[in-house]
Amino acid sequence: MRKRIIIFVLCVSFIVGLDFVEGSNSPSVYSGPVYRLHNDYNSFDLHNIASGIYSVFNLRIIRVFDLTFDLVVPGISLHPLESMFDVIKSGYRAIPRVYPSERFRELVEAFRIKQISISDLLSLGGTSLSGGNVRRINLLIDWIQETFQDFDSVLGMPFGWKGLLQIRYMNIGIDAGQKFVEKVAHKVAVFVTKGVDKGILGIENVFSGRKSKLQKTD
């Protein structure tokens, strides 16, 4: 139910925004002083509220935990999870750089554990993927491609070939598909962002116009 309400609000905002943009060149009914609802310096401005909500959903889970921990526990800020990841990363760098350890490191990095945000977790239970999860999927695909290509190179060595199955040619098509998905996801994100922004601006101008008319009546 909550998701349907959010989608409904976004759709209404987007429609109002488009209607405002299309009607921006039409003559105004009221030509007197105009009351402007939009104010960048007001914390309760709709744009600032939307930006704040977006920022909250993009907070990293590790960051939220560390801030909560340091807020509850008195003393200096410890950032326990951030510090733990730094220690693990430093220890792993001390391991000799051999093929298995390097491939395992690349696999772990593909999951981008430190960068997991609130929106990334919420999108796992929904029908759409966040930008962070799309990035993770692409990195995992890259890891699988490179791993299989390495094995294919080993299989082709006895024959003096670069690969027995010539997986590198398959990877060209997969890479093209990945780039296409990334571009589409980016364009959709930009379209939605602009639509919401115009929707909020449209709502603000509707209320501003009504406020101005009320001031004229008074």
Tens digits of residue pLDDT in 26-60:
444 444 444 455 666 666 777 778 778 888 888 99
pLDDT of residue 12: 42
User: Percent of the chain beyond pLDDT 70?
Assistant: 72
- Residue 95 sits at φ, ψ, to 5 deg, of -75, 140
Note whether residue 154 is domain-resident. yes
Buried b (16+ CB within 10 A) or exposed e, 137-158: ebbebbbebeebbeebeeebee
pLDDT of residue 23: 41
- Note every long-range contact of 128-133, with CB atoms under 8 Å and residues 24 or more positions apart, other chains counting: 131/185, 131/189
Whole-number Å distance between alpha carbons of 155 and 110: 26
User: Taking the model in full, what pTM does it have?
Assistant: 0.65
Contact by Cβ (8 Å): 204, 46:
yes
Higher-confidence position of 94 and 19: 94
pLDDT of residue 115: 92
Whole-number Å distance between alpha carbons of 205 and 28: 12
Whole-number Å distance between alpha carbons of 149 and 168: 6
Give the residue numbers spanning the domain of 157: 130-218
The structure tokens 């039409």 sit at 26
On the CB side of 117, CA atoms within 13 Å amount to: 17
Find the range with the poorest average confidence among 17-21, 55-59, 93-97, 201-205. 17-21
Contact by Cβ (8 Å): 191, 10:
no
* Average pLDDT along the chain: 76
Note whether residue 31 is domain-resident. no
SS3 state of residue 40: coil
- Number of structural domains found in the chain: 1
Those residues with Cβ within 8 angstroms of residue 94's Cβ, 6 or more apart along the chain or in another chain: none
**Residue-wise pLDDT tens digits, 165-179:** 778 788 888 899 988
Note whether residue 10 is domain-resident. no
Note whether residue 152 is domain-resident. yes
Find the range with the poorest average confidence among 103-107, 134-138, 199-203. 199-203
Containing 91, the helix (H) or strand (E) segment is helix 80-93
User: Percent of the chain beyond pLDDT 90?
Assistant: 20
Whole-number Å distance between alpha carbons of 213 and 1: 37
Note whether residue 98 is domain-resident. no
pLDDT of residue 55: 83
Note whether residue 68 is domain-resident. no
Note whether residue 4 is domain-resident. no
Higher-confidence position of 139 and 205: 139
pLDDT of residue 39: 65
Measured in whole angstroms, the distance separating CA 202 from the mean position of its chain's CA atoms is 25
pLDDT of residue 64: 92
Note whether residue 106 is domain-resident. no
